[in-house]
Amino acid sequence: MGKQEYTLSLFSEDHIGILNQITIILTRRQINIESITASESAVDGVHLLTLVVKTTPEMVRKVAKQLEKLVDVLKVFVHTSEEIIYQEIALFKVSTKGILSGNVIDHVVRAYHARILEVSPEFIILEKTGHKSEISELLDHLKPYGVLQFARSGRVAVTKQVRELNSYLREMDEANRMKTEETEVYNRN
């Protein structure tokens, strides 16, 4: 089966070196990170790393299992693009002279749903939120007008599923509590 795009949502404790451990695992499997974003999660003390990779279904399952074995990793969820709501953000620094000719700026703002963040005599800063393809399309449209700088964020995503990390963590705590009780009973006998 061919490669396809997957979004890995990796929940971890906030410890130094976790990103290095993740990249080692992916490098060994010759999987490139297409995009990465790190942030706090809805759970206090838990951080979310969102990675976009292109690989096979079998390989992404293997990688997810291997990542979950890392000490600081609490859980890894693997999603296809259809299972999540996601966006990226891009900033474009464009020559004022080029983009103010005609109605180009008005067209860009309306047609591409971009926002103007700053205007100076030398440049205009535009912001576009959307999918990678929409951002690339706007970049291609702006190039003839003099793109001075361009920066795009990694993917930010939330799942469509109802079950959240909180419920998973509660189940994990309950399972650990039961194991502890079983061990105590075993040790008493």
Q: Which fold has domain 4-79+156-188?
A: Alpha-Beta Plaits (3.30.70)
Kindly report the number of other CB atoms within 10 A of residue 119's CB atom: 13
In this prediction, residue 117 carries a pLDDT of 96
In this prediction, residue 173 carries a pLDDT of 65
Q: Which fold has domain 85-152?
A: Alpha-Beta Plaits (3.30.70)
Q: Which residues contact 9 (CB under 8 A, 6 or more apart)?
A: 48, 49, 50, 76, 77, 79, 157, 159
Kindly report, residue by residue over 107-162, the tens digit of the pLDDT. Answer: 888 999 999 999 999 999 999 999 999 999 999 999 999 999 999 999 999 887 65
In this prediction, residue 100 carries a pLDDT of 80
3-state helix, strand, coil in the chain (%, to 5): 40, 35, 20
Residues carrying CATH 3.30.70.1150, the chain? 85-152
Secondary structure class of 42 (helix, strand, coil): coil
Residues carrying CATH 3.30.70.260, the chain? 4-79+156-188
What stretches in the chain show pLDDT beneath 70? 1, 161-180, 189
Determine the Cα–Cα distance for residues 92 and 56; give it in Å rounded to an integer.
Answer: 33
Determine the Cα–Cα distance for residues 163 and 167; give it in Å rounded to an integer.
Answer: 7
Residues 145/94, Cβ–Cβ less than 8 Å: yes
